[in-house]
Homo-oligomer: A and B are copies of this chain.
Amino acid sequence: MWAVKVPVNIHGGGIPHSSTTKNGCNNFFIVRKSLVKMCSTKRQSFQLTPIKSQIEPLPIMVNGCTGKMGRAVLEASISAGLQPVSLCFSGPEDAGKTVEAGGKEITVHGPSDRENILSSVFEEHPNLIVVDYTVPAAVNDNAELYSKVGVPFVMGTTGGDREKLYKTVADSKVYAVISPQMGKQVVAFLAAMEIMAEQFPGAFSGYSLQVMESHQASKLDTSGTAKAVISCFEKLGVSFNMDEVQLIRDPVQQVEMVGVPEEYLLGHAFHMYHLTSPDGTVSFEFQHNVCGRSIYAEGTVDAILFLAKKVKLKEEKRIYDMIDVLREGNMR
């Protein structure tokens, strides 16, 4: 259906295939080129369809909705049939602004009188779920506010004092999903790697590892996910120095070498791990490549639906993470 039907040199020819066959390494790179074409077609035929009918009306409040991630969550939530209330909180610089999403206007409130406002909204919408995509400096204050009012929340904001965050939530017994990584599929992949490493220590003993990751130029440090996956490979018996991670931050390289679509140069997370056996006859490769924020916004919607269910069932456990959301299975 795909590779075979595409002439080998459809992408410009002149590729010296002989260079790929005179060693013990394995690669699908020529096929990959036809894959790219195929994905382009698939993309048109697999659009997300609204699934409103399956989900009860569920009011949400997305704090930080003036930011890119907050807006993405708003849009994904509306597509999924969730119902944003007409206001949200954000920093003082955004107070009084209006955000429009899905034909709905949301008024942005600054830091003043937040407790009264949130209490009123919660009273009006007793099954409200708050979503937080604000800034690291606001994480603890916001968690305290939600905990004091007793409104369940999904915290996607990174940073802040995490220990304090969990203590606040635990003490208040409010329901919450807390995760700095909302990309469900990435979390699932990492969890699978962690399980493999734990259950089969040394299974890849002697293998050599190459890691490459590409992120927007503004990201200075090595990807945390890459570090976590590498530590799994280390448990699997692979010797690797974190300095050996190939960081791609140059937009020209990202486009020409890595194949990042130009429109995602300012927001992408590509990761590749390539393992080779000591004698070069075996290779494994794992890739997780994310463009934009859609995966995180969709994962956040899943976290909201998950949390609403837990609140409704009055579950004893109150604090959850994305592994819990994943374990629940697909809910829409």
Chain A contact surface mostly: mixed
Q: Taking the full assembly, how many copies of this chain does it contain?
A: 2
A262 within 8 A of B: yes
A53 within 8 A of B: no
Listed stretches A14-22, A58-66, A164-172, A174-182; interface member: A14-22
Q: Say which residue of B19, B260, B285, B286 sits within 8 Å of A37 (CB atoms).
A: B19
A145 within 8 A of B: no
- Looking at A12, A37, A280, which has the most chain B CB atoms within 10 Å of its CB? A280
Q: Is the CB of B16 within 8 A of A36?
A: no
Binding site for B on A (CB under 8 A): 1-4, 8, 11-17, 19-33, 35-40, 42-43, 46-48, 183-185, 188-189, 191-193, 195-196, 199-208, 210, 212, 236-237, 244, 246, 248, 253, 255-262, 264, 268, 270, 272, 274-292, 294-295, 326-327, 329-330
Q: Is the CB of B24 within 8 A of A291?
A: yes
Q: Is the CB of B3 within 8 A of A212?
A: yes
A202-B330, A256-B17 are known contacts. Are A23 and B4 too (CB-CB below 8 A)? no
Q: Say which residue of B12, B258, B295 sits within 8 Å of A15 (CB atoms).
A: B12
- In the bound complex, residues from chain B placing their C-beta under 8 Å from that of A23 are 36, 39-40, 43, 261
